[in-house]
Amino acid sequence: MSGKIGMNQLLDTTVFVDYYRKAPRAQQFLQNETALLCSVITAAELIRGSRNKNEQRNVEKLLSKIELVPLNTQIGTIMLELMKKYYLSHGLQIPDALIAATAIEEALTLVTSNVKHFSFIKGLKLEDWSRL
């Protein structure tokens, strides 16, 4: 593990959840780091987690500082293949499949503390956020 996040890494929702739970490391990291990437699916999950307009505004403010990686046809194709391979055997969910497909297609390392949700996906590079 590199121990440092960079432009070759895609941040999973768990990093942002730590930020909103006021984990000092996540607070410092997301407030000070520049050039961060996350999937539009992660952005949607964060908006879905907003409990009111104020929380949604705070999410939108944070997301405005992060480059969102959009979906494309190839990501959709990869996601469908991942669902065929891993839904029945591992319970892979569509949002996680889309995030993983984005990382694979864009040749990014997925940074997450939910390694168990992704560790079985062949070809996906993972970095454990909880160990950085």
CB atoms within 10 A of CB 77: 12
Structure tokens given for 82 = 């991942």
pLDDT in tens, 81-122: 999 999 999 999 999 999 999 999 999 999 999 999 999 999
9-70+107-131: CATH number: 3.40.50.1010
Beta bridge partners of 110: 10, 126
3-state class percentages of the chain: helix first, strand second, coil last, to nearest 5: 55, 15, 30
- Candidate from 3-12, 33-42, 50-59 with smallest mean pLDDT: 3-12
Query: Who's near 7: CB < 8 A, 6+ residues apart?
Result: 35, 37
pLDDT in tens, 12-46: 999 999 999 999 988 888 888 778 999 999 999 99
